[in-house]
Structure 1
Amino acid sequence: MRAVHPVTLDVAHGETLGIVGESGCGKSTLARMLVGLLDPTTGSIEIEGAPLDKADPAAFGRRIQYVFQDPISSLNPRKTIRQIMEAPLKRLHRMDAPRRAARIAEIFDTVALRHEFLDRYPHEFSGGQAQRIGIARALAAEARILILDEPVSALDVSVQAQVLNLLADLKAQLGLTYLFISHDLAVVEAVSDRIAVLYFGSVVELGRAEEIFRAPRHPYTRLLADSAPVVGRPLSAPEARESELPDPLNPPRGCAFRARCPLASDRCAHEVPKLRQVGGHAVACHHPIGT
């Protein structure tokens, strides 16, 4: 079974690339490969032209870090926040105790957390506070790239805005690069410079955030946009012939989206579409919208 098909993505320094798609499309599998939690069976991952090599875990961890979806369960319940924060400083940077204390205080000030939180345990915090701690732990590694896997989906709407504003401030202050994975199209559009739309393990559309949902070129992107609830707009059933993803153990021939696509033709049943430029977007479709 292929969870992710061959995917080529270039992310510029200081950019936020949003990655969207339904559950099961390969978003989290791709993210876990990028941080070394899963090994890709083919292909390579490069940072600044150099292959990502896990031979030296400390060097790997100093370049890229992961912020998890569930802020509480991603923190060790048996350790205090101070112990959690000290782990990357010990293992990645070999700091002594006085330097660790100074660095942790600096990071907590950066993410607007009180220093007395350091001697508490994860269960004593709200979701928003726990997510700030997770972000602080990633910053302790001094990585320039953060993989944000649904970082606000488990939070209340008001807390989501606080965390998103914090991420924007950190990106500007520290020159960070983000890969932002989410189901929430509004959040992704608001925080991203570009957006990649995944379907059945493949990128089907890639374009500027302000254009990708305003004028989608791929029928699946339009389906996602039409399916998202919007305040003040009645819910309506999007135009689609099927509602389920294909079976990954028995993948279809040709275009994986054709059973759900209102524009599908005989060509779609036999030929896998390749990414090509259409109206400023990269689109993998034989019949892109608007052409």
Structure 2
Amino acid sequence: MTAALRLDGLSKTFPVGRGWLGKPTASVKAVHPIDLTVPRGETLGIVGESGCGKSTLARMLVGLLPPSTGSIEIEGAALDTADPTAFGKRIQYVFQDPISSLNPRKTIRQVMEAPLRHLHGMKRAEREARIREIFADVNLREEFLDRYPHEFSGGQAQRIGIARALAADASILILDEPVSALDVSVQAQVLNLLADLKGKRDLTYLFISHDLAVVEAVADRIAVLYFGSVVEIGPAAQVFAAPRHPYTKLLADSAPVVGRPLTAPEAKGSELPDPLNPPPGCAFAARCLRATEQCRSTVPRLDDTGDGTRAACFHPLDAPTA
């Protein structure tokens, strides 16, 4: 299967503090080197608690942040990560807050025309035909084009955000919490729309969300991030039904379920490691009941567990028996 997206050693480190000569006094590694391949037409779900590096990874993929190391390939072509304009035609971002992501001083027509004019150099007649086609695809009326963002509901604004991403004719969409700000009934409408567009336009999705139920429902595979690293990746149905990494099980047990009382899945005081002073071994060791001295001294590799899942754990959870 053709790879739509390939990451090779992609990482991001931020300088922290300034010394007397303006040099940084420390650094925070927000994303550790990631090797990842996403086949064309796949929806890869990316999950993890706040601060795990999901949004930093997404911003690197669309050129909003330059990576510290590594490379990005889209359909076999390497992107110049130092040139943000190289990303626009290939990969686009759908933001979490649909209304604030739209320029309040511009009409929807102006918002839609921007990528068509600057990325594709379309003339006016071509732009109008393209916008009509996209609006039909996302079930929006053409009369909306002369209105401003504040005149729309959250669901309508998110459809406009999706339409803007489609206008660039990109083959990959980064969906960063695309339904978390919407009512439950509207969430279903937007998710169904995304599924229809994926099939119709042969799109590839990276779907970032805190809502594990939504990710499990829409994703083909799931990548679990913890402290800037991928700790588990595998088929969506398998990763949460039979997690191999203890952190993945913690996430699944933490998710609220109708009819089940809320309980703490781990002891009080359990926290993420200090990013300015990361632990020498597995970053999850201090929170893991299965941790040994090996875990506290050596960083585990992301290895195949033998059932189609890869986990970065020396002592993975047992696979379910047939």
Q: Structure 1-normalised TM-score?
A: 0.97
CA distance in 2, matches of 1:103, 1:58: 21
Q: Compute the displacement of 1:232 (Å).
A: 1.4
Kindly report which structure 2 residues correspond to 1:189-208, keeping only aligned pairs within 5 A, or say none.
189-208=216-235
2:186 alignment counterpart: 159
CA distance in 2, matches of 1:192, 1:8: 19
Segment of structure 1 superposing worse, 37-46 or 58-67: 58-67
1:277 alignment counterpart: 304
* Alignment match of 2:176 (pick from 145, 149, 164): 149
CA distance in 2, matches of 1:159, 1:18: 20
Superposition misfits of 4+ residues, deviation over 3 angstroms: 54-59, 239-242
Q: Compute the displacement of 1:243 (Å).
A: 2.6
Q: Compute the displacement of 1:242 (Å).
A: 4.6
Q: Compute the displacement of 1:56 (Å).
A: 6.7
Pair 1:287–1:240, CA change in 2 (3 A): farther
* Alignment match of 1:92 (pick from 119, 123, 147): 119
User: In the alignment, is residue 34 of structure 1 matched against residue 65 of structure 2?
Assistant: no
**Paired AA for residue 274 in structure 1:** R
Pair 1:56–1:280, CA change in 2 (3 A): closer
CA distance in 1, matches of 2:205, 2:155: 19
User: In the alignment, is residue 20 of structure 1 matched against residue 47 of structure 2?
Assistant: yes
Kindly report which structure 2 residues correspond to 1:40-119, keeping only aligned pairs within 5 A, or say none.
40-53=67-80, 59-119=86-146
Q: Compute the displacement of 1:98 (Å).
A: 1.1
Instruction: Give the CA RMSD over aligned residues.
Output: 1.3
Q: Compute the displacement of 1:241 (Å).
A: 6.9
Kindly report which structure 2 residues correspond to 1:219-234, keeping only aligned pairs within 5 A, or say none.
219-234=246-261
Q: Compute the displacement of 1:99 (Å).
A: 1.1
Residue deviations 1:173-205 (CA, integer Å, cap 9, x gap): 000000000000001000100000000000000
**Paired AA for residue 235 in structure 1:** L
* Structure 1: 5+ residue stretches without partners: none
CA distance in 2, matches of 1:240, 1:172: 44
The answer as to whether partners of 2:63 and 2:83 remain within 8 angstroms in 1 is no
Identical columns (%): 77
CA distance in 2, matches of 1:41, 1:55: 10
Pair 1:55–1:99, CA change in 2 (3 A): farther
SS of the equivalent of 1:3 reads: strand
By relative contact order (CA 8 Å, sep 6+), the higher-ranking structure is 1
The answer as to whether partners of 2:295 and 2:314 remain within 8 angstroms in 1 is yes
2:154 alignment counterpart: 127
Pair 1:261–1:127, CA change in 2 (3 A): same
CA distance in 1, matches of 2:117, 2:84: 13
SS of the equivalent of 2:100 reads: coil
CA distance in 1, matches of 2:311, 2:81: 33
2:5 alignment counterpart: none
Kindly report which structure 2 residues correspond to 1:158-177, keeping only aligned pairs within 5 A, or say none.
158-177=185-204
The answer as to whether partners of 1:223 and 1:240 remain within 8 angstroms in 2 is no
Segment of structure 1 superposing worse, 12-21 or 56-65: 56-65
Q: Structure 2-normalised TM-score?
A: 0.88
SS of the equivalent of 1:225 reads: helix
1:138 alignment counterpart: 165
SS of the equivalent of 2:299 reads: coil
